[in-house]
Structure 1
């Protein structure tokens, strides 16, 4: 019997060492939540950790003590060496300890090509995507290779040995061996899907040639051509820049809009709006029409301004659906509508007295193919504005919403207001992940429902874009709020930070808006949140989130 108890005691000691158990059965546990898996190819010099243990425990990351919050949560930012890294996270209490680990492989930063090796590398090579260009366009190329050489590029038989320049290094840390070149395409530079051939000559090492993976086409007979918008969520971008929230937005493009296409870069078509202005649109949003289809053009002969108790409308009949931009000005309050492909043949503008927000309409033929309407607005600023085509017609309708009428005391100012509340994310889109494993989509929904109850108790009419854990299209959330004629749209989120950002120093509350007329409302909300004692994170404008792209509703 003594031998049996000895074995049980030894087993108990072993379990204590492995699982952090104490002889009474209590345990110290530690869970690493962020990152969720071992990053294999990680470039940043630091990585964020987030996890949890029991409240009151101590946590050490590679032997360094880390703050444990009252909930048991902890965060840290670890420095990484190039190559393999093992991070040990330990939790301990007065009765036991536990540990877990994370393995991170950090990729080395980009280095200059060694001067004793003849090479043209794929890294940093331009162009990165297939190009369809026209004579007059500027072709820009680049590669990284052995420093101190002479470089040239060629394309097909039309362009031979065009000299490139090595970018001088300004400091010891700058990359050397970066060669760039430009060429203004000529009418004779006709090509079909040809690679860029790079040629490098280095004294003492010889010479070599390498072709790009991307292909260049210059075919004057293919461009310009007309395309028709086939996506309900299409928008024009100002340039080729990209990011997590997409490129800079020029405006929404309705279904059926005709566009003049003048080239392609990767998956983006170039759109010629006017002789001096171009834009970009996703290839998947466009159906190219047969070559020889007429370009999008229309005369504008008349227009009508009228209003009702909720909004003013300005209607412009067109021959085809043309692209447009609608931009606000704050001082003086004004909207500016640019119609691309339009030429004025205006003989009258009917203006009914029922219009209140739009005080005056004027027009100007800014340039060939661009007709501008200016709408001088009544104070206060507009409560939403938009432009769209009516039904299946080619009649463009500009809408300016009137501000809601607030109830007078002693009634609540929320009395009768319809407030669209959007619990961010949901369903398969879980959002951020908290240190305790909490999902942002759940936090957002809980706050949204609580807020709806508070607003309803004060006379408001809240509507929720989602009532449960479901996947919803972001654009549709806003369209539902617009269809419900909501007075406000508020999307609620619990944001996190990037994997290389210090979470312990990133905190606070913030508000966001995309369109300048809504800045005052966003700022007012932000100041009210700060009065609750929350730390400031900022009032962020020009925010390109999907739910903020439409200006129909503040």
Structure 2
């Protein structure tokens, strides 16, 4: 990329009208003429020799102005942007009892069953008496003030992930009230209203109604649905993190609902949450017939092995990879063991032992003990039922470890820009430059490569792993460059980082991370197990790398040079080779 210097003042982030989360500070980046003195809201910014600048400033809830000036040789440039910072109005004095109507939860409708718990929260005058009422169920149930704060929202990563703090709670502020109601066996209500009330010390009172309403039922007939998407996301709670991925056609039982997310029973003791748009309701009265598992057998395949478990109906099978990539744990829902046989196929040497246990009346657990570490697995519902395809390590040439290896290289983002640097450098362009260099280096070493994008074409995120899969990729490497959210100081927390999800990808992530440490000359931002879309493919080794920070001026300047782009690619390439050699040594 051509080196360019800023000639005018430009704030790149935050932009005019941006909405920022409820955090005490944000970074501001932009560009000014090289050598200028830049001040943002009274604080001096650090200006790189190319003119890119960065500074962290305190912010306050509501409409907030960010004013920037740059002075150089008597010339003065000015720019102001106005942003909206999320936050709460401060409660009034205790004698003027006040309640933030927008804070009342639940904010979406709930459909619950007996035994479930409903949590009601609100914010208002500290030290007040707080109660909640659920129409037709309970009147004046007590709420307790929680001065330590509430758990962070699901869409707000805790700052300790980036090294900022260790608290799972939002910043403590008084006036947060929480109450819980346990649904009783005889409780029934449809669209019941939920209200909260506060009473101040001098008798003043405030009341508000939650936007969400409550329905309680206890249907005698199971409500069954079928997954639609080949990548149906099962979350651990409403709006929470990923718990599992199910293919299309899997039958689940719906046992509750929060907003547009359905609670589904995955086994006798395990449940998850699925977006209702990913489910198709089965006809009323569809029986929840149990599968009787009568046999398990293994066969040899060109990639490794296949483990077949015949079953009549496609219920959820959860697969968990255990220590050293040599144990796979299967949790089979709505299944009862009728097992007297497990057959190890001729010429199949990957699966060493199969054991099973009926852990509750509806759940069968199967463990596969493998003779060697795998490079991935793929769960599928095929004739005669559930089949787990295992990918064994391929043969590796000691002299040319990349020879014959099938790689997919993903240049992150496009058409959206990704992170943007102080000088306006687009992450998608830098990612593509590094990916092209990596592609060339790997091809020169004998690898067969697939570039998931070769230019500025739009490739949907969900389509990218499919392209790698269709190309027969054994290894997927996704190239990105980093930023942090508002509230985290990028001048303190920056550098290179590497990400993986499945245990069979950890060794490669460590190998590349080690090469970054030795070759890039940047701070170590960390090695992460991260639930990212490009790390989630289970049927190959998949990692995502972030060699540097787009938003730090010095690192943006490096990323704009062909020399540093090639150094990043070389670090990944050498990390790949070192990983392959270690795999060869492990299997020798």
Q: Which runs of 4+ in 1 moved over 6 A?
A: none
CA contact (8 A) 2:304 2:391 kept: yes
The 3 A distance-change label for structure 1 pair 516 and 113 is: farther
- 2:338 counterpart residue number: 345
403, 407, 413: which one aligns with 2:397: 407
- Does residue 1:102 correspond to 2:81, yes or no? yes
447, 457, 467: which one aligns with 1:480: 467
48, 55, 58: which one aligns with 1:76: 55
Shift of 1:253: 0.9
CA contact (8 A) 1:28 1:96 kept: no
User: Which whole-Å CA distance do the structure 2 matches of 1:470 and 1:27 have between them?
Assistant: 29
- 2:508 counterpart residue number: 521
C-alpha distance after superposition, 1:79-132 (max 9, x if no partner): 235666544433344484433233345566553453112344324322222110
- 2:366 counterpart residue number: 373
Shift of 1:385: 1.4
The 3 A distance-change label for structure 1 pair 68 and 140 is: closer
User: Which whole-Å CA distance do the structure 1 matches of 2:294 and 2:142 have between them?
Assistant: 53
- 2:375 counterpart residue number: 383
- 1:23 counterpart residue number: none
Aligned positions of 1:224-235 closer than 5 A:
224-235=222-233
The 3 A distance-change label for structure 1 pair 272 and 33 is: same
Shift of 1:404: 2.0
User: Which whole-Å CA distance do the structure 2 matches of 1:349 and 1:408 have between them?
Assistant: 37
Structure with more contact order per residue of length (Cα contacts < 8 Å, sep ≥ 6): 2
- 1:11 counterpart residue number: none
User: Which whole-Å CA distance do the structure 2 matches of 1:347 and 1:107 have between them?
Assistant: 60
> For structure 2, which runs of at least 5 residues remain unmatched after alignment?
150-170, 542-588
- 1:458 counterpart residue number: 445
The 3 A distance-change label for structure 1 pair 550 and 110 is: farther
User: Which whole-Å CA distance do the structure 2 matches of 1:446 and 1:258 have between them?
Assistant: 44
The structure with the larger Rg is 1
Aligned positions of 1:86-165 closer than 5 A:
86-94=65-73, 96-104=75-83, 106=85, 109-157=88-136, 159-165=137-143
The 3 A distance-change label for structure 1 pair 204 and 421 is: same
- 1:305 counterpart residue number: 298
The 3 A distance-change label for structure 1 pair 375 and 170 is: closer
Q: Secondary structure at the match of 1:442?
A: helix
- 1:179 counterpart residue number: 177
134, 145, 156: which one aligns with 1:167: 145
Aligned positions of 1:426-441 closer than 5 A:
426-427=414-415, 429-441=416-428
User: Which whole-Å CA distance do the structure 2 matches of 1:265 and 1:511 have between them?
Assistant: 35
User: Which whole-Å CA distance do the structure 1 matches of 2:112 and 2:60 have between them?
Assistant: 44
Aligned positions of 1:201-240 closer than 5 A:
201-202=199-200, 204-207=202-205, 209-221=207-219, 224-240=222-238
258, 261, 281: which one aligns with 1:265: 258
User: Which whole-Å CA distance do the structure 1 matches of 2:464 and 2:19 have between them?
Assistant: 37
User: Which whole-Å CA distance do the structure 2 matches of 1:130 and 1:264 have between them?
Assistant: 8
User: Which whole-Å CA distance do the structure 1 matches of 2:6 and 2:502 have between them?
Assistant: 53
- 1:293 counterpart residue number: 286
Higher alpha-carbon deviation: 277-286 or 202-211: 202-211
The 3 A distance-change label for structure 1 pair 553 and 209 is: same
Q: Secondary structure at the match of 1:371?
A: strand
User: Which whole-Å CA distance do the structure 2 matches of 1:165 and 1:502 have between them?
Assistant: 36
The 3 A distance-change label for structure 1 pair 394 and 156 is: farther
CA contact (8 A) 2:133 2:194 kept: yes
| CA RMSD after TM alignment | 2.7
TM-score scaled by structure 2? 0.81
The 3 A distance-change label for structure 1 pair 404 and 317 is: same
Higher alpha-carbon deviation: 291-300 or 518-527: 291-300
Q: Secondary structure at the match of 1:541?
A: strand
User: Which whole-Å CA distance do the structure 1 matches of 2:132 and 2:503 have between them?
Assistant: 46
User: Which whole-Å CA distance do the structure 2 matches of 1:190 and 1:180 have between them?
Assistant: 23
The 3 A distance-change label for structure 1 pair 222 and 472 is: farther
User: Which whole-Å CA distance do the structure 2 matches of 1:204 and 1:57 have between them?
Assistant: 58
- 1:198 counterpart residue number: 196
Q: Secondary structure at the match of 2:90?
A: coil
